Amino acid sequence: MNFRRLFDFLRDLNHEDHNQKAWMDEHRNEYEAVRDEYIQFLGDMSQELAANYPEYHETTGKQAINRINNNKVFHPNKPTYKDHFGAGLDKSENYADFYIHLGINECFVAGGFYHASSENLKKIRAAIDYNGDELREILDKKEFKQYYGELIEEDALKTSPKGYSQDHKHIDLLRMKSFAVMHPLTQNDVISSDFKQELLEAYKVLLPFRNYLNQAVSFQED
């Protein structure tokens, strides 16, 4: 995969006066060449992950890659096209995925539930209430902490969620509204010959966290 070409295309697309349908139509062949090559890369990554991890949900490259168009209905002030290629591997309905973000302003890998739905949040909090020590152990593991750091704390509650005491042993976790982590990358990391191995390692480190969350949200009450 020629990731230099991917970044070059994104820079051209987001140049002043280029981020519009007319420019994209003139450069449609270039866009499709970059997109299709990335889809192939994602498909190859998915097959390798599926071969090594039985918990993995196999995802085709086409299923993984996100649209490059911004949703102008909900975000009318955003430009027509994004400044990045986003993709989610390990996709299955109502399960945590493994997200790859390659952009001219930001690159990173991430996983978990970002802005978890109210139903998933309820189930994750119930799992923490029942056995938060297990999640704490995962988050505090040296390998995990060195790679992913802390949970994303965006929009965390200031007080305790309904039904839980301020004195709860894991109140800091219960206050979270996102159960997600991320690891920043540079463009040099992405164009490196080691990038595929970087993604495989990122998934391996993420796996215990992902498994905990998926077990929590798949729980069915009697």
Q: Is residue 123 part of a domain?
A: yes
**Chain centre to alpha carbon of residue 74:** 21
Closest among 96, 132, 99, 136 to 116, alpha carbons compared: 96
Per-residue pLDDT of 134-188, as tens digits, reads 999 999 999 999 999 999 988 889 889 999 999 999 999 999 999 999 999 999 9
Q: Is residue 45 part of a domain?
A: yes
What DSSP string runs through 109-123? EEEEETT--HHHHHH
**CB of 200 closer than 8 Å to CB of 48:** yes
Angle between helix 28-52 and helix 195-217 axes, rounded to 10 deg? 70
Q: Is residue 85 part of a domain?
A: yes
Q: Is residue 222 part of a domain?
A: no
CATH of residue 90: 3.30.930
How many structural domains does the chain have?
1
The burial of 126, by beta-carbon neighbours within 10 Å (0-12 exposed, 13-18 middle, 19 or more buried), is given as: middle
Tokens (6 digits) for 219 = 């729980």
Q: Could you tell me the pLDDT band of residue 204, with boundaries at 50, 70 and 90?
A: very high
Q: Is residue 66 part of a domain?
A: yes
User: Which range marks the domain in which residue 78 is found?
Assistant: 3-217
Q: Is the model's pLDDT at 220 over the cut of 70?
A: no
pTM score, whole prediction: 0.93
Tokens (6 digits) for 118 = 């109210």
Return the pLDDT at 73.
77
Q: Is residue 181 part of a domain?
A: yes
CA distances from 111 to 115, 180, 182, 214 (A): 12, 6, 7, 12
